[in-house]
Amino acid sequence: MQSITLRTPDDWHLHFRDNELLAETVPATARCFARAIVMPNLVPPVVNAQQATAYRQRIEAARPANSQFTPLMTLYLTNQTTAQDIADAHAAGVTACKLYPAGATTNSDAAVTGIEALYPVFEAMQKAGMPLLIHGEVTDNHIDIFDREKVFIETHLAPIVAAFPELKVVFEHITTSEAVQFVSQASDFVGATITPQHLLLNRNDLLVGGVRPHNYCLPVLKRNTHQQALRDVVASGSRKFFLGTDSAPHARHKKENACGCAGCYSAWSAIELYAEVFEQLGDVTKLEGFASEYGADFYGLPRNSGTITLVRSAWQVPEQITLADGTDMVPFYAGQTLNWKLEASL
Query: How far lies 293's CA from each of 68, 77, 232, in Å?
Result: 18, 28, 19
CA dist 7 and 124 (Å) reads 34
Residue 303 has what DSSP assignment?
A: P
Residue 142 marked in a binding site: no
Beta bridge partner(s), residue 321: 329
Residue 246 marked in a binding site: yes
Q: Which of 246, 297, 325, 328 is catalytic?
A: 246
Burial class (CB within 10 angstroms; exposed 0-12, middle 13-18, buried 19+) of 278: buried
Contact 138, 148 (CB under 8 A): yes
Beta bridge partner(s), residue 243: 194
Cα 4–chain centre separation: 23
Residue 156 marked in a binding site: no
Q: Which residues of 216-250 are buried (b: 16+ CB within 10 A; e: fewer)?
A: bbbbbbbeeebbebbbebbbeebebbbbbbbbbbb
Residue 41 marked in a binding site: yes
Residue 275 marked in a binding site: no
Q: How many helices (H) and strands (E) does the chain have?
A: 14, 14
Contact 226, 179 (CB under 8 A): no
Residue 250 marked in a binding site: yes
Beta bridge partner(s), residue 247: 14, 264
Tell me phi and psi for residue 68, to 5 degrees.
-100, 15
Residue 98 marked in a binding site: yes
Tell me phi and psi for residue 306, to 5 degrees.
-85, 180
Residue 198 marked in a binding site: no
Residue 173 marked in a binding site: yes
Residue 83 marked in a binding site: no
Look up 246 and say whether it is catalytic: yes
Please give the annotated binding residues, written as ranges.
Answer: 13, 15-17, 41, 98, 135, 173, 218, 246, 250, 262
Please give the annotated binding residues for substrate, written as ranges.
Answer: 15-17, 41, 135, 218, 250, 262
- Give catalytic residue positions: 246
Please give the annotated binding residues for Zn(2+), written as ranges.
Answer: 13, 15, 98, 135, 173, 246
